[in-house]
Structure 1
Amino acid sequence: MTDVTPIFRRTTYPTISPSNPSNDQSGRTVLVIGASEGIGFSIALAYAQANASKVILSSRSQPKLDDAVAQIRSKGVQGEVTSIPLDSGDIGQIETFWKRLEQENITVDVLILNAAKTGTTTTAAEVIEFFHFNVSTKLHMLEHFQNHHKDAKRSKILIDVSSAALHAYPYPMTAYSSSKAAFSNHLCHLADEVPEEEMRLVSMHPGAVYTSAARGSSEYKEDLPLWDHPSLAGHMGLWLSTPAAAFLHGRFVWANWDADGLVDMKEKILADAGLLKIGVTGVNSFSVSSLMEKCAESPAPKDRSLI
């Protein structure tokens, strides 16, 4: 998995940068779920820096959202940056959230699903909670987005922030990895039914980002070579919405894979309906230890501050 493209990226680069005119988001409204910090924040910042007309940040905590919005606005972005609180694990709140968007006549062009439940499980009830948050509630978000402003005749883009955990063996968080695999696999199949021109569907492993969740782990320390710069996830999440990435509809990609290398593989990917999709298709197995070795070969910047 670490050698899909010749270059294994650890930080941003010109092809995926918000400053690249090819990645301009003018005229688009972008909604990022789970955006108050970490990976979601880096993605929201990238779209704002790429001139999105409106970027809406969403998470459960309004104070954290207020801080995130202020940080992005402080970068001098041109478009509107705002927030709407949402507990994306609550189906009732999801219903109310989309009704509010309709009432306020907000047409979302790009939806980023970043919120997820993480941790370990020991009982069936706990596993079910993971599938509720990481699959069931996302299906409701997906359905609302698919039916959102159908009369507008505007193409939609959905990018799900998934995880390499779904194809890592062994991996300690079984319910997390299996629930992530379930939703990503659903998107792979749904893309066979929904044309890219109607709604692009892409799953992305954001790389290894030292988030607050990682800080709470006793296993993964900050000084490991594993951690990528957060700009990589943010900017790859941006590039995947551009015309250049249309051929990745229905595919699962790593932020670490070089975008230019993926473009070079375009004909190969389009010729194989199962390539870069969730399933057993003959690729070598992936493990965290092999990723550690790759990251040691390709060091990331030591300064991982985004702002």
Structure 2
Amino acid sequence: MSDPHLAALNNFTSTRHGPTIPANLYLPSTPLPEGFSLLILGASEGVGEHIAYAYARAGASKVIISARRLPNLERVKSELHNLNVSIRVEVFSCDVASATSVAALSLFVKEKSGRLDCVVVNAAYAPPITLRAHLDQPEDIQRAFNVNCQGSFNAAHYFIPLLLSSPHGARQFFAIGSMAGSIRRGHIANMGYCVSKMALTRMIEYLHEQYSSESAGGLFAVTIHPGAVNTEMAKGNTPESFIPYLVDDVGLCGAFCVSLTKRVSDGGLRWLGGRFVSATWDIDELLAKETKIAEGDLLKFALVLE
């Protein structure tokens, strides 16, 4: 049986994008802020890789890409230079689940960049999918929480101070989450991935509460569902019954992130901070729901009382 939460999320805007990238994501056409510096954790392949490409096309000045596998990062670096000959690219091998590793990355970013406008946490781990807790392996569940939750906390802990202290910085923190965090039943309703992604979404709500009221606009933090993408991670774990649903463009999330960056930097969308959004939603329809979302405090987790 499908999960009603998933259907409601998919249909939050009447228009759903995914297999193709809509033109209105590239509006407004204003450039990224001058000297824009970006860090992407989990940029060696798939969604994270294409997020880097989207910012390169948009004219980012500097991008630091990190992941555990350094050879893959060198390939991404080469492609970034092909897309934007003037972009400055730095690579760093980092395991987000390790606070020591993320601390070392933060020192590297300060040395190489000196400022930071946006952090995108894309690193993720999906354990083998089972639908019974007694079939899950404890070490797999632990790894999912270490990467998906602790990893995002590590990034917040070490990079939010740099985001907030960068002069005239964009102050943006994007966590790549998943609609899977809202479900309880269905093909992929497993403990490790789904519950850890739910916790990630809740963590972003906390970051908004703690840092959005800082001076100069504070931190803008959101959780972003990238779409249902047939990445390498998905190929290794997704049940055959769910494969037909993995139809979304791997570049959709990158285009959505760039659109958010530009719109927030232009002074809009602050009301969306701390919430869960999906790259598959039509952004114009989403903006039209501002009053409804703000008044109902929607797109956040809550216990249902009535």
* TM norm structure 1: 0.83
In the alignment, the residues of structure 1 paired with residue 243 and residue 164 of structure 2 have an alpha-carbon distance, to the nearest angstrom, of 48
| Offset at residue 219 of structure 1 (A) | 2.0
Percent identity over the alignment is: 25
Partner of 1:294: none
Partners of 1:188 and 1:99 in 2: CA distance: 26
Q: Does 2:133 match 1:119?
A: no
Matching of residues 53-72 of structure 1 within 5 Å: 53-72=61-80
The structure 1 segments of at least 4 consecutive aligned residues displaced by more than 6 Å after TM superposition are none
Residues in 1 aligned to 2:304 and 2:281: alpha-carbon distance in whole angstroms: 18
**Aligned to 2:209, what secondary structure does the other structure show?**
coil
Tell me, yes or no, if structure 1 residue 132 matches structure 2 residue 146: yes
Aligned amino acid, residue 209 of structure 2? D
Determine if the alignment matches structure 1 residue 256 to structure 2 residue 294.
no
Task: Return closer, same or farther for 1:66/1:139 CA change in 2, 3 Å cut-off.
Answer: same
Q: Distance in 1 between matches of 2:235 and 2:199?
A: 26
* Structure 1 position 78, deviation (Å): 3.8
Q: CA, structure 1 residues 81+100, in 2 after alignment: closer, same or farther (shift >3 Å)?
A: closer
Report Cα offsets for 1:252-277 as digits up to 9, x if no partner. Answer: 0111111101110112222223x011
* Alpha-carbon distance change, 77 to 271 in structure 1, aligned in 2, over 3 angstroms: farther
Q: Secondary structure at the match of 1:148?
A: helix
Query: AA paired with 1:255?
Result: A
Alignment of 1:145 onto 2:153: no
Equivalenced residues, count: 281
User: Alpha carbons of 1:261 and 1:136: their partners in 2 closer, same or farther (altered >3 Å)?
Assistant: same
Going by fraction, where is helix more abundant, 1 or 2? Answer: 2
1:279 aligns with 2:302: yes
Distance 2:243 2:148 in 1: 29
Root-mean-square deviation over aligned CA pairs: 2.4
Q: Which residue of 2 aligns with 1:202?
A: 222
Change (3 A) 1:201 1:101: same
- In the TM superposition, 1:144-293 aligns within 5 A as 144-148=158-162, 150-153=164-167, 154-170=169-185, 171-195=188-212, 197-217=217-237, 219-220=239-240, 224-242=244-262, 243=264, 244-273=268-297, 275-280=298-303
Match of 2:5 in 1: none
Quote the Cα distance in structure 2 between the aligned partners of 1:76 and 1:27.
14
